[in-house]
Each structure stands twice: as C-alpha cells, then as structure tokens.
Amino acid sequence: MTEARRDRLRALAERVERMATDPESVDVGWIALAKPFLRLIGWQPKYETEGLATLVDAVLNRASLEKGELERHLEAAITELEGDVQRAERATYLHGTLPTAHLAWLGRMVRTTTRIDEALDERGDRALSAIDPVLVAPPLAIAVDEPEPSKEKGAKEETTFDRDASQARLVELQLAAVDHIIEAAREETSFLSRRRSLLEAARRLLLDADASLPLDAAGVKVRKRYLAEQIVHIDRAEAAGVKGHVSLVHQARSALSRGLKEQLFATLAALEATTLTAGDALLGERVDSAIGMLSGRADTTSEAARRRSLRRSVDQAFGEPVTSQIETVFRERLTTRRKRLAAELASHDDGAVDLALAYLDPKRERDAVSALLSVDGCFDVGAPLVPTRVKQEQIVARLVRHPTQQMVLTRARTPDDLPTAAISDPRSLLLDLATGRLLTRRFVDYERRVSERTEMVGEARVYLLDGSTSMLDHGRDMARARMRDAILVAELSTIMERLQNAGRHTRVVLFYRYFTKRIEPVTRIDAADEALAAIGSVLATPRRGGTDIEGALAACFETIREARDTDPDLARAQIVLITDGKAMVRDAAVAKARSPVDDMPIAVSVIALGEENAALRRLVARQRAAGERAFYHFLDDDTLAELCAGNVTLSRALHLPEHALATPEGLAEELARTLDDLAELERLRHGAVLRAAEVGDELVAALDELGLGERALTEGQRARRQAAARDRRAVEERFDAWFPARPDAPLSATVDKDDVDSALVALGTVAEVVGEMSAEPIVRQADAVDILERLLPDARLTPASYDAVIRAGIEPIEHAVVAVRAAAKGDETASTL
C-alpha cells in the first residue's frame, strides 16, 4: 500500500464517519447555493459502481492480468469512491441525514478497497479470494431513470418517483433488510442449514421487493446471482453427504476418524467456501492447509476438475434414473435424432430441424445439467404440499348437574351424588354406593369445540411453458429454452421423489403443458414412472411457434377445474407461467377465464426468461396486493447464459479425483492436528462466552482486544453464543426482553407514527425470516434477536425508542410481537396476549 493511497482511503473513512456521527458539519462547498432547487426536485444520489465492479472482476481474474494492471484498477476505484462519498455528502446536506444502508455501504466500500490495497502488498491471496461482487454492490434502491426494473440503468443522477418521507423510510428499511440477512448468512461458517435458511430468506425478501417495487436492476441482478451461487454450493455439499445441522469442523474430524476421505474433502471444500465469503482469513488458512494435505498433487481448482465435480454433483443431487434419462436424450444417434425431429417438425420451416439438432447437440449436455443444478438456487416456486391452518369443529357430550333437555342415569361415585340418586331401598343405600349399583341423575350438555391445527394440503401445480421459437433463437446459446426445460425437469424430479415416498398421506399431482399459438395437451403426473418418462420427453422435444399467453392461461384454468372435480382434497392451485413472450395479456380476458373457479385460491405466478412482459408483471402485482401467493421471477439473458455454462460453481472441485483417494502414510496424524486447531479456533469464535473466573482477566482482555470477548459482542451475538452453549434460560430471557409476551403497563407518552410503522416492518421481517428456519426454538429465538438488532439502525429506531413502541399498547404492534413469538417459539405462544 503506497502512502498516498493510504492517506486517500483514511480520508474517505473519516468523511463517512462524519456523515454518520456529525452530519451538520459536512462540507459541500458551492453546492449549498443550489440547496432550495435540489430539494424542490427531490434530488437523490446515484452512485457510480463501474470502477469498483471492474476492480472486483480484476481481483477474481488476477492470474490472467498483466503486472501493474490490478493497481491501475485500484486507483480508478478509489477515484470513483471519492466521487460517491461526495454525492453522499451532498445528500446529507440536502436532507439532513443519509439512509443507514447508504452509510453502511460506503463504509463497506472503503474497508473492502483498503483490504485489497493491503493484500496487494502482503501477497494476501486469501484476502483477495474473499472479495465478491455483493460486497461492492450499491444499496438496493428505487430505479430513478426507468420504471421497468429489467432495464440496465446508467449512472445518471435523476429524480426519484414521488413519495413522502415516511414512505421512503419504510421502503429503505425493507430494502436494507435484504442485505442484513445476506450479511448474517455470510457470517455463518459452521452450520449449512442455518446458512441456507438465511440465504433463502434473503432471496424471498429480494424477489418480493422486486415484484412490488421498481428497483434498480443492477443491484437486484448482482444479489440474485450471489444468492443463487451460495444456495447451489450448499445443495452440492449436502448431496455429497455433508450434513446441514452438524458443525462442519465436527463433520471433518468425524470423517477423518472413520477414514472417509471423500466426505472429508467435501466437508473441507464446503468449509472453505463459507470462510471465503465471511472473509475469515485465519480460519481459511487452516482449511486451505488441510485441503492441500488431503489432495496432494491433485489439482482441484482447474477447470477440468471443477467440471467433473459438477457432473458428479448432478448425479448425487438428482439420482441415477434422472441422469440416465439426460444421457439417453443427448447421446441418441444423430441419424435417428434427425429422422425423429424431421417427422415432429414437418409442419415448420426448413430451419426448424437444424435449430432443434443444435439444441440437442451432445456437446450441450453439460449446459443442460448445469442449468438443472442451478434451478434451486435461482427460483423459489414453493412446495406441492402447502401448510395450511384449518379449523375443526367437534361436538362433545358432557354430564352436568344443571337441567338440560336430556337426562340420563349414571353410576353414583361419591356422597355428593346422593341428593340426585335413584333410591330403591334406603337400607342398602351405602352398600349400593360402595358396590357401584347406585344410580344418580345427570343431564347431558353438548359443547361445540373449535380447534386449529396445521395440515399439509395438496396444491394443484400447473406449469405453463412457452414453446415459441424465440426461446431457442433469441438470447444467448439457447439459454432461455434450456432453463425453461430445466425448471420443469427439476420439478418432475422432486415430484418423483415424493411419489416414491411410501409414508406419504397427501396426494401429490403435477400438470404441465407447452404452448405456442397452439395449446398442447396437458400432461398429468401422479406416478413416479410417469415423472421419469416425462423428463425424457421434455428434454428430447424442442418446440417452435408463436405465443398465445391468454389462450394458454384459459386452458390452465379449465385444467384446474377438472382436477378439483376428480380430487376434492385439492385446496388451492398455482399456475407457473414460464415465458419470454411479449404477447398481449388483457385483464378482462384473464378474469373471464378464471370465473368458473373463482371460489378456489389460484395464484398465477410468472418466471420471465430473457425479456419481461409488463402486463404479466402487473398481473402478479395485483394478486400480491390482494394477499394471494403469487411470485414474479426474472433472469436476464446474460445471467441465463452464465448459469447454463456452469459458471455458478465453487472455485474448487467438491470431489477428489480417484487417483487422489489413497491416503499417504502419516497424513492422518498431521490432518488430525490441523483439524484440532480448526476446532479450537471455532470454539473461541463461536462457542460459549469465556468468563474471567474461568480463564483469568488477562485472557479475557486479550479476547476483547481481538473482538472475540463479551464486551465486543452485540445483543444478537450474545444470544447466539448462549444458544450454542445451550443456555436456554439466558436465551429466553434475552428474547423476552426484546419481544415481551406481556409488555409492562403502556407508557403515557405518545410515540411517533413513523416509529410505529418502522417497528411493524422490522417485526414483520423478523417473523418471516425466523418462521422459515428449520432450527430448534432456542436457535430461532437467538436469531430473532440478532436480526432485529441488525434492522433497528435502518428503521431509525434506538433500543429505547423501540422499547417505547412495543410498550405503547398499540394493537398492530402487539400482534406483530405475537407473530414473532409464534415463529420463534412455536404456535402455542400465539395466544399469550
């Protein structure tokens, strides 16, 4: 790091800190003269990120750069960052403050740039590897120059759409929540299950925001790509045998002790991926050392090794029957395939067969399996079984003493029954009571009891797939059609697995149909062998034609009506439309087609590939505004091509080559020592809080200085450490302090309405995220505290103002707290108020 660069970065850090701690002292120079005009037009900063993005790309591809090229990119990035800080200072001066998310992003940019600068001088390849595009992505924001979120935006500074300050505050909080959940997932390096839950929660929040708001496309795109990469990494690791609910270090030590070298390598590769994204250089060095010892001379980072590993992951994730079907399709003899396609596409133009042959080229098999593996990371279409709260009424007969319309004689049991007893002989009264022969009068009262419980109910899932020519010949490398088919194949694979489950009690059924200008017949899948056969048919049949979305939707509503007539257990339905078409979709036509099944909840969801249809986006937005379970996903052509090319993968192979499976003599002991070091380091970082009485004041002070001690921890970190230490009482006390079941007496002072709205958004986000986590209550409670604490600064709430809001006796706040408690502790707490 040169002295000049160090001074520039230090000055930037000081300016960012000044905006956070003393915004009134910010110096903006001559721009102060234009303050009235800029405030009148609602000017907002538009940050430049091209230089930072180029720097990150250069870091990721540094091996191919010429000497000094990375330094030039670094200089350009620092210059660009100086401009961004200046824009932020102007916004601070104009509006009195800067959103916390913007301040956090600027601070992160300065720290990231400083880390790169330091790594260049210290040969810090490990630190450089920890840099990813999301670290330098600007905060999510409303698009300021185009209403359509799919358009690439320039770096211009223009006005935003009209919204008052309170609305802006809530929108900023909703958008900032995405990055907070991503950051929480990034920090999780031990448990893949928790990391997955947080990543999926962040993806859900991102997709919901993108479906509801006109967001800037660049920020959405980079986060979608990052989330897809990380979820796919976890999918591959778990398919290779790595357990999500067990510490990765513990699994590595267990695999070593049992001599499971392949599982040991997969666990270490997963641990390396988590430590890289967390920027944990110390832990990463130990993991890298263990991987080096285990792999020996085998190159596990080469392109060929990663491709082989990717294919093995597909085999492990989807099973031999599915991968065999894929191989059969792509390895069909060329003459046989040409003859078959010529017959199927006889009615199309002369180029149809050649286009179909190019789609089924054996060299493209890799694209098909790469797209298939990426589906789970990119899309969240829900499950065919939906948890639904149902009410059950039961009539219960009770025997009572008070008169009713029905009287019965029943056995007398105690002397209290004597006044109403049917006495035949007073002399034998006590003997009859003792022997059970004495009868007494009772009345029957019928009581209606209503109970609620969660049931898994069937959902009719109908996939409606665009088979138009543009899916093949528009975009890049036929990626639109490849991803369309991969989505359906992944769903068929999931259905096949569920249908093979002998213990299932709820009927699972899937419908799908392709459409062009002609609507193809619907295919119904309710058996495992049907699903497997359908996979081969889907992949082997390229399609061509126009686009009639209205007609296809009408046909789907009719399919759902027929399905409900034959299966009364179907409680709801979802149409998943996958298209790139810009065909006309009229609201009136959709409503008319839907009218025969208006009494059944039906969501029309859209996956847009390559291009967007504004009418479909509005259709989903209206459903979401009405509370329906509809989603809208969009992936641009560049991202689709990257996914099909297999570029969403680990930087290292997850599997060892066969020639590296032999264990050299003496390796086990050395590996054991390295893994012991990893376990000790993890214990210090994530284990129970060390106390001075146990280890001495000097060690506690040293840990505090390193940021590992009690004083350096946030409330959320303390809660998570207490959960790790199984201190249930401490976690519950901390949770109850933040989310009290019965708050103290309401305060007499009024609270600000904006504070109430912000608290509602924050509590709703906590409930949504924690409710989807598959962890025990003590862990969910700790996570609830951690997530809320992350959100409070962006909600512009101090702990004291948050406490005032939840103690104000406001009914919506009380319900929101109940929802958090129900999500974190279980449904039985929902009635605590």
Cα 480 to Cα 338, 461, 619, 628, 645: the distances in Å are: 22, 21, 22, 27, 12
Give strand ranges (E) for 377-527: 385-400, 407-411, 421-422, 439-466, 510-515, 523-525
Residue 83 reports pLDDT greater than 80: yes
Smallest CA-to-CA distance from 663 within 240, 239, 258, 247 is with 258
Identify the band that residue 698 occupies on the pLDDT scale cut at 50, 70 and 90: low
The pLDDT score that the predictor gives to residue 787 is 92
463 vs 394: CA distance, rounded Å: 38
Give strand ranges (E) for 185-313: none
The pLDDT score that the predictor gives to residue 691 is 42
> Which CATH number is associated with domain 311-378+454-644?
3.40.50.410
476 vs 479: CA distance, rounded Å: 6
The pLDDT score that the predictor gives to residue 147 is 44
- Region 23-38: mean pLDDT is 74
Identify the band that residue 828 occupies on the pLDDT scale cut at 50, 70 and 90: very low
Percent share of the chain, pLDDT over 90: 23
| Spans of all domains in the chain | 1-139, 248-301+651-684, 311-378+454-644, 390-453, 714-831
* Lowest mean per-residue pLDDT among 64-78, 88-102, 633-647, 713-727: 713-727
780 vs 762: CA distance, rounded Å: 16
- Region 34-56: mean pLDDT is 75
* For the ranges 73-87, 298-312, 372-386, the one whose mean pLDDT is highest: 73-87
The per-residue pLDDT of the chain, averaged, comes to 81
- Among left, alpha and beta (phi > 0; psi -120 to 50; other), residue 279 is left
Please check whether residue 765 is in contact with residue 788, taking contact to mean a CB–CB distance below 8 angstroms. no
Under DSSP, is residue 650 helix (H, G, I), strand (E, B) or coil? coil
The pLDDT score that the predictor gives to residue 664 is 55
Identify the band that residue 323 occupies on the pLDDT scale cut at 50, 70 and 90: very high
Non-local (6+) Cβ contacts of 505 within 8 A are none
List pLDDT tens digits, range 223-248: 998 999 899 999 999 999 999 999 89
- Region 440-467: mean pLDDT is 77
The pLDDT score that the predictor gives to residue 117 is 81
Residue 62 reports pLDDT greater than 80: no
User: Beta-carbon neighbour count of residue 49 at 10 Å?
Assistant: 23
The pLDDT score that the predictor gives to residue 451 is 62
User: Beta-carbon neighbour count of residue 741 at 10 Å?
Assistant: 15
Identify the band that residue 165 occupies on the pLDDT scale cut at 50, 70 and 90: low
The pLDDT score that the predictor gives to residue 637 is 93
> What does pTM read for this prediction?
0.79
The pLDDT score that the predictor gives to residue 553 is 92
Tell me which amino acid residue 246 is.
Answer: V
